[in-house]
Amino acid sequence: MSNQKRGDIKSLTIFSSKDPGRDVDLRAGVVEMNYYENILSPAITADIAISETNQSIEEDGPTNIIEGLPIRGGEQITGIVMDKYQRELKFVADSSLYVNKVSSQVEDTQKTIFGLHLCAKEFLSNEQTRVVKRYEGKINDSVTSILSERLKTSFYQEKNIESTVNEYNFIGNDRKPFWTCSWLANKSIPESSAEYGAGAGFLFFMNQEGFNFRAIDSMFDQEPVQKYFFSESPYPDPEGEKRKIYDYSVVNALDLQQNLALGVYANRSLFFDFYKFEAFVREFSLMDDQKDKVTTAASKPDFVAEEFQTITRLMTAILDNGTMPSGKNAVEQLSNWNAARQAQNTKAGAAMVQSLMRYNQAYQVKHYVQMDLDLSLKAGDIIEISFPKAEGGKAGKYDKKKSGKYLIASLCHSITKSDPLTSLMLIRDSYNDPE
């Protein structure tokens, strides 16, 4: 195998939690390392398969890392990995990983084989704290406060905490930080929304840049970070602008019955206002409420046949009008409540239905692809792929319907000595109009 395909582990060190001054270099024993990100997961994870000769640590005679360090959970691991494009993935400082589990330990007199399952520190911190106080104002400000005050983390960039146009007042109710931020995501509307509520639906997740709180709408509106093409031939892209995908499979291209059951194309919601003791109905239509109002992967989406764009799902919700008025203290809150006793804490009619449908719609098309290890890619990025058009066994043109922008929903960077790969699950919310 050419060195051009190798993934280089430049450093990989585990530190003892019992003795901070003690550490072990893991590089020599690494058989395989897998690193994972997912836009539905608030924490990055990784696993490492290690084979060692029981001489890693001199402690009353040679012994293995598990007993010699020892590994008991919570040990910090730092490292740097590089791909053939000279892109580095670093596990240092805030992005360090921590031992969550040890598995598959096989030991004899010659060697020990085991697996280390790693996670971000915040994944463990999430179990050690709760969100308890009252929050008010813009939702993105509440998310930032929860990250810094409850999780005690600075592992996020301001550009990845997207601003919301709507405000929401709430009390943490002793919930975990990850749960609370994900709960707030489906109530959020981006400032860039063409119409209030039309672009509702955020995702709370972690990638190599840290925590993200971003609207699905704006994620699909990104420019591609890289361009790829698929071909079964060994030849490179003739234009020299695209990297090659070696394997792909279509996981889900269409499930009409499921979409109808979820009400993706049209649905009706019944909202009840306890303050007025009244109810009102909100109908949602993909054609009327999303067309030209949200950003989709396809420039001209190819929608389902019109006869199936009927209401197929009923949902209900209770409005919180007159609750949680803004204010720094009880006097100010009471004054604000008196001034607008029926004010909505959140406009559920504008955001709830849209966000639920946006989540379902985002996963309408799913592809799995594999390529050379590319550490520049991360969950939440957009890439562009050109797929060949099937013409009787010939592939002279690209398929305009299938080719285009895809969102990286999840990824695995697999680092091995022989064949390092990046595997992606790609999603898109619409087909291109074949014109």
- List CB contacts of 234: < 8 A, sequence separation 6 or more: none
How many Cβ atoms are within 10 Å of 261's Cβ, its own excluded? Answer: 11
- List CB contacts of 412: < 8 A, sequence separation 6 or more: 34, 35, 36, 422, 423
Most confident of 234-243, 274-283, 390-399: 274-283
- How confident is the model at residue 294, as a pLDDT? 75
User: How distant, in Å, are the alpha carbons of 128, 176, 184, 276 from that of 172?
Assistant: 15, 8, 11, 27
Provide the whole-model pTM. 0.90
Q: Which residue has the higher pLDDT, 383 or 392?
A: 383
Q: CA triplet 370, 373, 379: central angle to 5 degrees?
A: 75
User: Could you report the per-residue pLDDT of 89-145, keeping only the tens digit for each?
Assistant: 999 999 999 999 999 778 766 778 899 999 999 999 999 999 999 999 999 999 999
| Statement: residue 303 has pLDDT above 80 | no
Most confident of 97-111, 144-158, 192-206: 144-158
| Statement: residue 2 has pLDDT above 50 | no
At residue 290, the 3 state secondary structure works out as coil
| Statement: residue 69 has pLDDT above 80 | yes
How many Cβ atoms are within 10 Å of 66's Cβ, its own excluded? Answer: 19
User: How distant, in Å, are the alpha carbons of 58, 66, 252 from that of 62?
Assistant: 5, 12, 52
Name the strand (E) or helix (H) holding 111.
none
